[in-house]
Structure 1
Amino acid sequence: MKLQQIRYLLAIVDNGFNITTAAENLYTSQPGISKQIRLLEDELGLQLFIRRGKRIDALTAAGERAVERGRHIMQEVANIKNLAAELKGDAQGTLRLGTTHTQARYVLPPVIQGFRQAHPGVGFDIHQGTSDQLAGMVSAGDVDFVMATSSQHLFPGLTMLPVYQWDRVLLVPRDHPLAASRTAPTLETLSQHPLVTYVFSDRPESSLSRTFKAKGLEANIGFTARDADVIKTYVRMGLGVGLLAAMAVEEEVDKDLVTLDVQHLFPRLTTWIGFRRDSLLRGYQLDFLSRLAPHLTPERVEAARQAPDQKAVETLFEDVTLPVHAHQPKPRVAAGC
């Protein structure tokens, strides 16, 4: 068995069972990949793929288990390379982060700027996507870290570290009835307006849906997007009231909109960053984590990496007070003043 054969096996799976695409991405030939997979199956005495003529449709049960072990093998290969680089004092590499638009746009810029100044020899790749897409990136080995909010069930193989907490805010045009109201919004009030919010908020398991359901109400979700700037655009168009992260509101840019505090209505959310439990982190990766959140010290991160399960990881952070991105409402100014 060769590492090359395992790499080909994983590439076929990660490219939707399209050998031609896998070959293009690996800069090799389709016949070459097919030959190596046949040799691997002959050596193992197992059929790894379900085939229909020359086309591959899916993995067999044996193939699924082989892919799972293959990913561990390739991760260990990466770990050995990382170990060698650390022992040699090699300060070069690339940090690959999968995250959402809100993190990439409103949270990460100053962190990455400081990181790049401290590590000029390290490249930084940001891959944006929804939680489902980020899960695919992890499975394919395309990223080293994933940073997102909730959706933990999509990442069972990751060690997840809490970064910060945040509140939602309501964003409405200045001429909207809610902007003139002197009373705080209620869930009953919000249920009467179409909401413009993040994708997947309409799923039954989302905290938004569960909050309304707990009051015997149903969220009236009129439009969803994964981009906070898109949400704000459609609020300006009058398609609904925006419900989004507090840190996505920019005082000068969004001064044509009114921000309303709704933290009394919805639970505070936690953003986390995760990495594969079997990965060995390099020095610059640990430095990035500590820059992202001071409580993510190398010692605590290493303890989390060696924890037996996620519950044990969470115990390590029980004494940590996470920073909060919350809306700080300004005093209302009376008309004519």
Structure 2
Amino acid sequence: MELRQLRYFIEVAERQHVTEAAENMNVAQSAVSYQITKLEEELGVKLLERVGRNIKVTQIGNIFLQYVKNALKTIDEAQEKINEYLDPHAGTIKIGYPTSLARYWLPTVISAYRDSHPNVNFHLRQGSYSYLIDSVKNGEIDLAFLGPVPMKDPDLVAKILFMENIVALLPNHHPLADRKSLFLSDLRTDPFVLFPNGYVLRKIAVEACQQAGFEPNIASEGEDMDALKGLVSAGIGVSLLPESTFNDSIPRFTVKVPIELPKVMRTVGVIIPKHREIAPSEKNFYQFLIEFFNKLEQYK
């Protein structure tokens, strides 16, 4: 059973005329008749029968027609997906991202990319640090933003796009709210609001406090950036968060204060699988990211 036989059969069945079907497909009438005869012989049933000058689809032929049309539609859709996959200016880019990059950097780079690649679609998936790493390794996604960047993982290609400061977020009634900068040790007696255990931003904050000579008193936890900012706004405690999460705005009733000592920073970048080829559209986007942030660095 060949695809061309199925396509000839559909054309004849819908037009109920061999000559018209052949002309529409730019094929010789004899070729169409021959291929349909071969199809009927292989199936062992009569699909079409002649009624005067026209063709009539048999009862079993009508049943077969519906299945064949559905099958060819699926095949055609699969071919479209392959063509889309091979086109670096189209296709669907699957991106994983953490909550800390969701508000500013993710929409910024996607918007910039779509200006020159309007036919590209994006499938976005938010996840924790470990989830994003595992998803790239197991093929669930092929590209993920991360901070900090896991540079030593043997299964990943990791590229640092930029570095950013971790800053203190304080309630606006805090005694240090008017400071231009502070030492992290100045917050040793304050309650902290941080991400739960297992989140990399909690690890960064706790290790920074330990470097400053104290264990943070973690009074409350939140699983996303807005929750933590809301807790600080309510006066529940202070927090340590990436500076880029305040690019659009600083939450009401809070102030952002740079940390002078120790200097707390994180790398932010992108990871792709090391031992698996990624789609052309994703490879194109990956190169765009590197060039995009290189240009930003030049203008600093």
Determine the C-alpha separation between the residues in 2 that align with 1:231 and 1:214: 22
**Per-residue deviation at 1:282?**
4.3
- 1:26-84 per-residue CA deviation (whole Å, 9 max, x = no partner) reads xxxxxxxxxxxxxxxxxxxxxxxxxxxxxxxxxxxxxxxxxxxxxxxxxxxxxxx9xx8
For residue 122 of structure 1, what is the aligned residue in structure 2?
120
- 1:76-109 per-residue CA deviation (whole Å, 9 max, x = no partner) reads xxxxx9xx85996574321111110121222111
For residue 271 of structure 1, what is the aligned residue in structure 2?
268
For residue 216 of structure 2, what is the aligned residue in structure 1?
219
For residue 137 of structure 1, what is the aligned residue in structure 2?
135
Determine the C-alpha separation between the residues in 1 that align with 2:222 and 2:136: 22
Is residue 86–residue 279 contact of structure 2 (8 Å, CA) maintained in 1?
A: no
For residue 242 of structure 1, what is the aligned residue in structure 2?
239
Determine the C-alpha separation between the residues in 2 that align with 1:160 and 1:203: 17
**Per-residue deviation at 1:226?**
4.2
Is residue 194–residue 228 contact of structure 2 (8 Å, CA) maintained in 1?
A: yes
For residue 150 of structure 1, what is the aligned residue in structure 2?
148
Determine the C-alpha separation between the residues in 2 that align with 1:194 and 1:243: 12
Q: Does 1:102 align with 2:72?
A: no
Q: Which amino acid aligns with 2:262?
A: L
Determine the C-alpha separation between the residues in 1 that align with 2:164 and 2:276: 28
- 1:201-233 per-residue CA deviation (whole Å, 9 max, x = no partner) reads 888993433333334321222333342211111
**Per-residue deviation at 1:278?**
2.1
Q: Which amino acid aligns with 1:233?
A: G
What SS is found at the alignment partner of 2:281?
A: helix
Quick check: which has more Rg, 1 or 2? 2
**Per-residue deviation at 1:247?**
1.2
For residue 164 of structure 1, what is the aligned residue in structure 2?
162
**Per-residue deviation at 1:242?**
2.1
Q: Cα distance 1:190–1:202, how it changes in 2: closer, same or farther (>3 A)?
A: farther
Is residue 169–residue 263 contact of structure 1 (8 Å, CA) maintained in 2?
A: no
What SS is found at the alignment partner of 2:107?
A: helix
Determine the C-alpha separation between the residues in 2 that align with 1:293 and 1:246: 21
Determine the C-alpha separation between the residues in 2 that align with 1:145 and 1:289: 8
Q: Does 1:178 align with 2:176?
A: yes
Q: Cα distance 1:87–1:106, how it changes in 2: closer, same or farther (>3 A)?
A: closer
For residue 260 of structure 1, what is the aligned residue in structure 2?
257
Q: What is the TM-score of this pair, normalised by structure 1?
A: 0.55
Is residue 96–residue 126 contact of structure 1 (8 Å, CA) maintained in 2?
A: yes
2:277 maps to which of 243, 266, 280: 280
**Per-residue deviation at 1:170?**
1.2
For residue 49 of structure 2, what is the aligned residue in structure 1?
none
Q: Which amino acid aligns with 1:258?
A: V
**Per-residue deviation at 1:276?**
0.6
Structure 2 unaligned residues grouped into runs of 5+: 1-78
Q: Which amino acid aligns with 1:143?
A: I
Q: Which amino acid aligns with 1:243?
A: L
What is the RMSD computed on CA atoms of the aligned residues? 3.5
Moved more, 282-291 or 266-275: 282-291
Moved more, 156-165 or 285-294: 285-294
- 1:275-319 per-residue CA deviation (whole Å, 9 max, x = no partner) reads 1112334443243234434277xxxxxxxxxxxxxxxxxxxxxxx
Q: Cα distance 1:87–1:268, how it changes in 2: closer, same or farther (>3 A)?
A: closer
Q: Cα distance 1:129–1:256, how it changes in 2: closer, same or farther (>3 A)?
A: same
What SS is found at the alignment partner of 2:182?
A: coil
Structure 1 unaligned residues grouped into runs of 5+: 1-80, 297-319, 327-337
- 1:243-287 per-residue CA deviation (whole Å, 9 max, x = no partner) reads 111111156553532111115323321012111112334443243
Q: What is the TM-score of this pair, normalised by structure 2?
A: 0.61
Is residue 169–residue 256 contact of structure 2 (8 Å, CA) maintained in 1?
A: yes
Is residue 197–residue 223 contact of structure 1 (8 Å, CA) maintained in 2?
A: yes
Is residue 196–residue 223 contact of structure 1 (8 Å, CA) maintained in 2?
A: yes
